């Protein structure tokens, strides 16, 4: 069964170009020309991937991203004509998995799509090792993509889950930002280290003060670690 992609883009030429390349890549593609239509199609079609422009009629891409994240953890790649850091960070903080600045190379965009979809393309097979970590008041499961904090299920985008799992899999080991980009986002990820900082910030907001037996710690000038105390 073909995977479904939703393209929310008001520039008809760009939308059709994306449709062409996505269909060549095996996707069934739905197009939305404004933010309101994008929200409606996201709810109706349950896509496996969303390509989302920021500057849209009706409601902008940030609102669309926020609305989608209320009910779905589908991979979202933001498309923007602006290259400012503010736009990139705003998108990531609202739950986007990646961003692409226009004009973009289609090859680069497809590489990013394959990177963010690697999770859904590699669901755990029967008999494989369980991907679940348990600490004091914390359960991280990549089998079900569930984060349980102090007994409550907390919503977290896939990349946040993967980053936390990766750090917690090697307690007290320090990872540089570049290592985390390579090992969590993949060698074909084209972002910068600020992406890691944004995801760490959002994880801390969910985990702050939950337990005194572990924490997400910044190692200044080096990177991050999941610190566990005896």
CA 113 to chain centre: 11
Q: Which residue has the tokens 């600490």?
A: 135
pLDDT above 70 (res 45): yes
Q: Please report, for residues 8, 36, 80, 95, 163, the alpha-carbon distance to residue 47 in angstroms, rounded to integers and kept in the order given.
A: 12, 16, 20, 16, 23
Bridge partners, 50 (sequence order): 6, 76
In the chain, domain spans = 4-121, 132-228
Which whole number is the average pLDDT over 85-99? 67
Cis preceding-peptide flag for 103 (omega within 30 of 0): yes
CATH architecture of 132-228: Orthogonal Bundle (1.10)
C-beta of residue 115 within 8 angstroms of C-beta of residue 186: yes
CA dist., res. 77 & res. 109, Å (int)? 9
Question: How much is the pLDDT for 106?
Answer: 81
CA dist., res. 175 & res. 163, Å (int)? 11
Q: What is the pLDDT of residues 183-221, one digit of tens each?
A: 887 655 556 678 889 899 999 999 989 999 999 999 998
Return the CATH class of domain 4-121: alpha beta
Question: How much is the pLDDT for 32?
Answer: 97
Q: What is the pLDDT of residues 106-164, one digit of tens each?
A: 887 888 888 777 655 544 443 345 688 999 999 998 878 889 999 999 988 888 888 99
């Amino acid at each position: 069964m073909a995977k479904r992609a939703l393209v929310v883009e008001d520039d008809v030429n760009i939308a059709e170009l994306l449709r062409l390349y996505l269909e060549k890549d095996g996707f069934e593609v739905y197009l939305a020309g404004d933010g309101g239509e994008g929200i409606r199609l996201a709810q109706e079609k349950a896509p496996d991937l969303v390509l989302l422009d920021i500057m849209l009629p009706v409601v902008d891409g940030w609102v669309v991203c926020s609305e989608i994240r209320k009910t779905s953890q589908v991979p979202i790649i933001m498309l923007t004509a602006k290259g400012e850091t503010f736009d990139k960070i705003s998108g990531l903080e609202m739950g986007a998995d990646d961003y692409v600045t226009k004009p973009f190379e289609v090859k680069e965009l497809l590489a990013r799509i394959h990177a963010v979809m690697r999770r859904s393309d590699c669901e755990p097979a029967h008999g494989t090792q369980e991907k679940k970590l348990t600490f004091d008041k914390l359960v991280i499961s990549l089998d079900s993509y569930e984060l349980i904090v102090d007994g409550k299920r907390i919503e977290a985008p896939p990349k946040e889950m993967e980053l936390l799992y990766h750090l917690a899999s090697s307690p007290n080991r320090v990872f540089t930002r570049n290592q985390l980009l390579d090992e969590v986002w993949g060698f074909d990820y084209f972002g910068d280290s600020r992406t890691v900082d944004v995801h760490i910030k959002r994880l801390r907001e969910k985990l702050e003060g939950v337990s005194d037996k572990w924490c997400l710690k910044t190692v200044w000038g080096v990177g991050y670690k999941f610190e566990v105390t005896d």
